[in-house]
Amino acid sequence: MPNATQTKNRRGFLGDSMRVAGALATCSFFGYLAGRKGRNRELLWQIDPDKCMGCGNCATHCVLDISAVKAVQCFPMCGYCDICTGYFDVGYTELDTSAENQLCPTSAIVRTFIESKAGQRFYEYTIDPAKCIGCAKCVKGCALMNGSLYMQVMHDRCLGCNECSIAVACPTEAFCRVPAEAPYLMKRQAIPLVKKFSIR
Amino acid sequence: MSSCIGATLFAAVVVGTYALYRLDPWANRGNDSPTRSALDLQDQFSIQPQLIHYLQTSEIPIPLDVVRAIAVGLEDRIYVAGDRTVYRFGSDGAGEVVLHTDGEPTCLAIGFNRHVAPGTFYVGVGKAIEVFLPNGEPLAVWHGLSDKTVLTSIAVSENDIYAADAGERVVIRFNPQGEIAGQIGRTDPDREMPGFILPSAYFDVAIGPDGELYAVNPGARRIEEYTSDGMLEGFWGKAGTAVDAFFGCCNPAHMAILPDGRFVTSEKGIPRIKVYNGFGEFECVVAGPSELGVRDSATVDARLEKNTQVFDIAIDSQGRILVLDPNTKRIRIFESRQEK
Amino acid sequence: MMWFFRYLLPWILAMAPAALTAGELIPTPEFSGHAIPTTEFPEGPADWRPILDTAALVVALSLASYFALVNRSRRNLLLLTVGSLCWFGFWRGGCVCSIGAIQNVSLAAVDPTYAIPVTIILFFLLPLVFTLFFGRTFCAAVCPLGAFQELICVRSIRVPRWLDHCLGLIPYIYLGAAVLLAATGTAFVICRYDPFVAFFRLSGSANMLLFGGCFVLVGLFIGRPYCRYLCPYGAILGLVSSVSKWHVRITPTDCIQCRLCENTCPYGAIQPPTIDQSPADRESGKRRFVALLVLFPLFLVFFAWLGTFLKVPLSRLHPEVRLAEQIREEELGIAEKTTDASDAFRNTDRPVMDLYKSAIARQNHFGRLGGWLGAWVGFVFGCKWIHLSLRRRRTDYRAERSNCVACGRCYRYCPNEQLRLGFIQDISELVPEENGNLKNEDRRSKTKD
C-alpha cells in the first residue's frame, strides 16, 4: 500500500511542521514578552515604608506562621531617645525593660545604653529579627516621634508567593515587586540621612 | 459503602465552600478581629469629652505654602510667619503680607504695649534675628550667634528679648539694641544647673504676666522658670502617656501663657493642647487629636509628609487660644466653653 | 528595576529637598565612642535558584515523557511524581508553578510596565511545548498539584458521564476569569484559591487549610478533582494535547478489545469503542449539528449579555472599587465603622469624587470585560455542545487525548503490555468471543469497512 503510506507520511509531515511552527510562534511571542523590558530579573515582594500604616496585617496575613515581614531599625534616622515611643508601652509605669512596660509583645527590641551627653541619656534600639513577629506595633509607636522603625519583607524567609497574601490584605497597597538585585527599600526621609552617615 | 462515600463527598463540598466563604483575603474583618495585632492608640487619640473645656469657634485659612509660627501683636492682630514673609490678619479674616524676610523664618515675636518698642517684629531667620519696624520696614539684623544656632522661639519682655537657641541649648537674652546681655540655662554643675535637654529642635520660651521667663525643657518633659539673670526658680511637669502628663521623648513642643498666668502647652506625637494652672497642675484640654483633625492612622502614614503633627500656639488678650494647623494651613481659634 | 524608576525615583527626587528642615525630626546624636550601625538585611534568594528550578523542570518533563511513552513504567512515573512533589511542592512551597504563570503571562501581555521574569515564562512555556509533542506528561509527574492528587487517589469512584462533562467546563471558565482578573491587575485568583499550597508550605490560614482538607477528602474518592474540574492550565494543556505528536497508548501494540482496561482509569479518560450508528440517527445528528452551528452566534451574544451583569461582582475584586464602596457607605452613614483602607484614604488629600469617578470608570470597564467573559463562557458551552454532538468513530479502547494525564495506571492491565514485559506468553484466550479468534490485522480491516 505505497499510496496509503505516502498519504500518512505527508499528513505526518504536515502535522509536524504545524507543531513546530506553533511552538516557534508561541516561543517567539513569549520571547518578545520577556525581551520587551530588557533584562528581566526575578522580582521580590517588598513594602514601601512610606505607604505602610502599621495596621498589623503583616503579622496575621502572611502564609507563614511567623510572618516574613519584620520591623527594622534605620539607625541614622533614630533619635536614640530615652523614652522611646516604639519601645515603651503607652501605659508604661517605669522606664525599665520589664515586659509590662514594653510595647513589643515578644520583647524583640533590645534597648542598649550608649552615652550620656548634655544631661541626655541615649539608648540604641535594635530589633532581634528572630523574635519579631511583624505586628508593626513598634512602627506605629515610633511614628509618633521619628518613625525610624519600619517594616520590611525579609528575603531569607519570604516564600515569594506569586500573589502575596499580605499584599492583598494591605489597606494602603504598600506592597510592591522590587528587582532581586535591590530587594530592600527605605523611607524617602531616611535616604539623605543614611547617605550622611555612610559618608562619615 | 457508596452512600457513605457520597455523604462524605457532599460534606466535604459543603465544608469546603463554607471555608472559602469564610476566607478573608482583604482583612475586612480585621478591625474587630480578636487576633488583630496592631497598636491601638484609640484611647490616647480620643480624649474624654468632659476634659475638653474649650471649643473651636472659628477658622482662618492662611494663603501661604509653608506656615512656621504664629504670634499675636498689637490690637490682637494675628501674625503668621512662613514663605519668607510675615502675614497679618485683620479682624475680618482678610490679610496681607507685612514684611519679607531674608530666609525662611522659624519663629516670631512682636513687641506688646509695655515693651520698649511696641509693635516691633523679631523674626528668627537662620542664625540671626531680623528686626522690623511696626510698618514692616527692616530695622536691623542681630548677628553674633554661634554656628550651631538653631532658633526655635523668641519671647519679648518689657525690656528684653529672649531667643531660644536649640543648637547651643541656651536661651539668649538680648537688650533692645541687639546686644547679647546674657545666656540662660547653660549646663553648670557648680550652680546645679542641669541644662536644657533638647532631643529635637523644639524649644519654646515665653514671658509670664509679671515678666518672668519660662522655658520648656522638652527632654525632661517639664517647664522651667528662670530669673532674668539665669537662676532656675522652679519647674513642673511629668512624663507619661496619660492626659495630664507630657508624652514621649520631648514634649511639650510649644507653650504659651494666658493673661491670668495659666499655661497652655502643645504636644507633638499625640497632638494635644492642654491648660495647666500656675502651679503646673493639669486643668483641662483645649483640643485633642480629633479636634485638631489628626486620626491615629495618620501618624504612621508618611505619604503626605504629615508625620510631624506639631501645632504652634498663641494667645490673644481675651484669652482665646490660636492654634496654627500646618496640615490644613488654617488658624483654629479656641474659646473657653464656660465663657461662651 | 523599572518599577523603581517609574514610581520611587521621581518621588525621591521630588521630595528630597523638602524632606528635612530644622525641627522636624529628632536628630541622630553624634556619639564620641559609638558608631551609628548600619541596618543588616538578610540576603535574597540566590541567583542560581531560578536557574536550578528551570533545569529541574526540563529534567522532570523529559523524564516524565520518557517514562510515560517509551519506558512505560508506572513505577518510575510514581517515583518521579514523589520527586516533583518534594521539589516543586514542599521545597519550593508551590511557587513558581506553571498554573499560576498563566496570570503573570496575562498581566505581562496587557501591562507593558510589568517585567515578567524569564523563569515564569519558561514555566509557562516548557510544559506547553512538551505537551505539543508528548501529551500531558507534565500533569503526570511534574506538576506538584497533580503529583499530590495522584498520590492521594486511593479509592476512586466513577463520576457520572453527564456530571463529568458539566464539571469539565469549569476549568475553561476559571481560565477566562483568571486571565481577565490578572490582566487587569486585580487579583491572582489561581494562587489565592490554590487548595494544596497550604500543605506544601505546611502553614496557612485556618480556612485555607480547611478548604485544602476538603479537597483532599474529595481527592481520596474522585481522582484528581483539581486537575479535572478546576485547573485552568490543564484546560490549555488538554487542548494542546489533543493535537500532540505522540501520546500515551494503553496498549504497546494493538488493542485486542479484551476490555480489561475499561475501568482502570480513575480519571475517566479511557473511552470505549463506538457503536455504529443507524443511518437515520446519522441523518438527525447531521441536522442537529447544522442547527447548532446556526445557533452558535446567538449563543455567544446571549452569554455576552449575561456577562455584563458580572460588572458589579467582578469589579468588587478590585481594591479601588471596594474602597470607593466603603467610602460611600461611610459618607451615607450606613457603614458601622471605618476600615484601615478607608482611614488610609482619608489621610491622603485625594477628593472623594475623584475616587468615585475612578471607581465608576473601573466598574464600567469591568462591565465590558464581563461581556467578553460571558462571550467566552458561551463559546465554551457552544464548543462543548458541538463537540458532544460530533461522533467520531473509535475502534479501540483509547485514552482520550485531552483528558489523559499519562499517569500510566492502565498499562499493566493490558495483556499486550504483560506480553511485552514477558509476564505472560499467550494472550489468545483473552480475545473476546464475538470477534472469534481473528488475528488483529484481520479484525482491523473488518471494522474499517
Q: Examine the domain organization and report whether A156 and A77 are in the same domain.
A: yes
Asked whether C415 and C427 are in contact (CB, 8 A), the reply is yes
Q: Examine the domain organization and report whether A20 and A111 are in the same domain.
A: no
Find all residues with CB under 8 Å of B3, minimum gap 6, and list them.
Answer: none
- Band of the pLDDT at B277, cuts 50, 70, 90? very high
What is the residue-level pLDDT of chain C in tens, covering all 449 positions? Answer: 444 444 444 444 333 332 234 446 778 888 888 889 988 899 888 888 889 999 999 999 999 999 999 999 999 999 999 999 999 999 988 888 999 999 999 999 998 888 888 889 999 999 999 999 999 999 999 999 999 999 999 888 889 989 999 999 999 999 999 999 999 999 999 999 999 999 998 888 889 999 999 999 999 999 999 999 999 999 999 999 999 999 998 988 888 888 888 888 999 898 888 877 778 888 888 888 888 889 899 989 999 999 999 999 999 999 999 999 999 999 999 988 888 889 888 888 789 999 999 999 999 999 999 999 999 999 999 999 888 888 778 888 888 889 999 999 999 899 989 988 888 888 777 777 654 444 444 444 444 33
The answer to whether residue A152 neighbours chain C at the CB level (below 8 Å) is yes
Q: Examine the domain organization and report whether C144 and C213 are in the same domain.
A: yes
Q: Please, where are the H alpha helices in chain B?
A: 2-22, 42-45
Q: Examine the domain organization and report whether C176 and C118 are in the same domain.
A: yes
* More confident of the two residues C171 and B30: C171
- Measure the CA dihedral B186/B189/B190/B195, to 10°: 30
**One-letter identity of residue A144:** L
Q: Examine the domain organization and report whether C173 and C232 are in the same domain.
A: yes
Q: Which residue of A has its CA nearest to B218?
A: A120
Of B26-30, B165-169, C401-405, least confident by mean pLDDT is B26-30
The answer to whether residue C48 neighbours chain A at the CB level (below 8 Å) is no
Residue at C6 is within a domain: no
Q: Examine the domain organization and report whether C68 and C144 are in the same domain.
A: yes
Q: How far is B261 from chain C (nearest CA, A)?
A: 27
Asked whether B248 and B226 are in contact (CB, 8 A), the reply is no
C-alpha grid cell, residue A35: 525581551
Beta carbons within 10 angstroms of residue A190's beta carbon: 24
Q: Examine the domain organization and report whether C111 and C143 are in the same domain.
A: yes
Q: Examine the domain organization and report whether A189 and A103 are in the same domain.
A: yes
Q: Which residue of C has its CA nearest to B11?
A: C214
Whether the per-residue pLDDT at B35 is higher than 80: the answer is no
Number of domains in chain C: 2
CA dist list (Å): B178 to B101, B128, B252: 17, 11, 29
Asked whether C197 and C185 are in contact (CB, 8 A), the reply is no
Instruction: From B269, B20, A186, select the one nearest C19 (Cα to Cα).
Output: A186
CA–CA–CA angle C70, C72, C78 (5° rounding): 125
- Peptide bond just before C96 cis, omega within 30 deg: yes
For C369, half-sphere exposure in the C-beta direction (CA atoms, 13 angstrom radius) is 21
Number of domains in chain A: 2
Residue at C336 is within a domain: yes
Q: Examine the domain organization and report whether C261 and C283 are in the same domain.
A: no
Q: Examine the domain organization and report whether A22 and A58 are in the same domain.
A: no
Give the C window 104-143 contacts with A, CB below 8 Å: 104-105, 108-109, 112, 114-119, 121, 124-125, 128-129, 132-133
Q: Which of B32, B150, B250 is facing C26, going by the closest CB pair?
A: B250
Helix, strand, coil distribution of chain A in percent, nearest 5: 35, 20, 45
Q: Examine the domain organization and report whether A121 and A193 are in the same domain.
A: yes
Query: What is the distance between the terminal CA atoms of chain C, rounded to a whole angstrom?
Result: 66
pLDDT of residue C228: 94
Q: Which domain holds residue A30?
A: 1-40
Instruction: From C171, C135, C319, select the one nearest C244 (Cα to Cα).
Output: C135
For residue C236, give the 3-state DSSP assignment: helix
| Burial grade of C22 (CB within 10 A; 0-12, 13-18, 19 or more) | middle
Residue at C2 is within a domain: no
Q: Examine the domain organization and report whether A31 and A95 are in the same domain.
A: no
| Domains of chain B and CATH, by start | 41-336 (2.120.10.30)
* B19–C210 CB contact, under 8 Å: yes
Asked whether B129 and B141 are in contact (CB, 8 A), the reply is yes
* More confident of the two residues B17 and C32: B17
Q: Examine the domain organization and report whether C264 and C406 are in the same domain.
A: yes
Residue at C360 is within a domain: yes
Eight-class DSSP state of C8:
I
Instruction: From C380, C357, C392, C98, select the one nearest C274 (Cα to Cα).
Output: C392
Q: Which of C23, C193, C344 is facing B202, going by the closest CB pair?
A: C23
Eight-class DSSP state of B136:
S
Instruction: From A174, A180, B149, select the one nearest C43 (Cα to Cα).
Output: A180
pLDDT per position as a tens digit, B289-332: 989 888 877 777 655 455 457 899 999 999 999 999 988 889 99
Asked whether B271 and A108 are in contact (CB, 8 A), the reply is no
Residue at C46 is within a domain: no
* C214–B19 CB contact, under 8 Å: yes
Q: Examine the domain organization and report whether A151 and A195 are in the same domain.
A: yes
Q: Which residue of A has its CA nearest to C130?
A: A23
Could you tell me how far CA C323 lies from the centroid of its own chain?
30
Find all residues with CB under 8 Å of C10, minimum gap 6, and list them.
Answer: none
Q: Examine the domain organization and report whether A107 and A20 are in the same domain.
A: no
Asked whether A147 and B300 are in contact (CB, 8 A), the reply is yes
Asked whether B287 and B265 are in contact (CB, 8 A), the reply is no
Q: Which of C208, C215, C346 is facing B23, going by the closest CB pair?
A: C208
* 3-state secondary structure string across C182-196: HHCCCCCHHHHCCCC
CA–CA–CA angle C278, C279, C283 (5° rounding): 120
Which residues of chain B have a CB within 8 Å of the CB of A174?
A: none
pLDDT of residue A40: 60
* C214–B304 CB contact, under 8 Å: no
Boundary-marking domain end, from C344, C361, C389: C389
| R_g of chain A computed on alpha carbons | 27
| Rounded Cα gap, residues A80 and C67, in angstroms | 64
Residue at C127 is within a domain: yes
* A118–B199 CB contact, under 8 Å: no
| Rounded Cα gap, residues B306 and B327, in angstroms | 7
Q: Examine the domain organization and report whether C264 and C335 are in the same domain.
A: no
Residue at C448 is within a domain: no
Positions in chain A short of pLDDT 70? 1-4, 37-41, 200
Q: Examine the domain organization and report whether A61 and A150 are in the same domain.
A: yes
* B9–C27 CB contact, under 8 Å: no
Residue at C326 is within a domain: yes
| Rounded Cα gap, residues A79 and B218, in angstroms | 14
Q: Examine the domain organization and report whether C266 and C131 are in the same domain.
A: yes
Q: Which of A41, A79, A188 is facing C15, going by the closest CB pair?
A: A188
Q: Examine the domain organization and report whether A53 and A32 are in the same domain.
A: no
Q: Examine the domain organization and report whether C240 and C197 are in the same domain.
A: yes
Average pLDDT in the B118-135 region? Answer: 94
Q: Examine the domain organization and report whether C360 and C213 are in the same domain.
A: no
Asked whether B133 and B139 are in contact (CB, 8 A), the reply is yes
Q: Examine the domain organization and report whether C224 and C304 are in the same domain.
A: no
Of B45-59, B268-282, B306-320, least confident by mean pLDDT is B306-320
* A60–B307 CB contact, under 8 Å: no
Find all residues with CB under 8 Å of B120, minimum gap 6, and list them.
Answer: B110, B111, B131, B132, B133, B134, B139
Q: Which domain holds residue C79?
A: 51-271+401-443
> Diameter of chain C by CA atoms?
103
Q: Examine the domain organization and report whether A15 and A87 are in the same domain.
A: no
Q: How far is B195 from chain A (nearest CA, A)?
A: 7
Q: Examine the domain organization and report whether A59 and A33 are in the same domain.
A: no
CA dist list (Å): A77 to A74, A197, B17, C9, C36: 6, 10, 48, 20, 10
Q: Which of B24, B39, B240 is facing A103, going by the closest CB pair?
A: B39
Which residues of chain C have a CB within 8 Å of the CB of B150?
A: 22-23
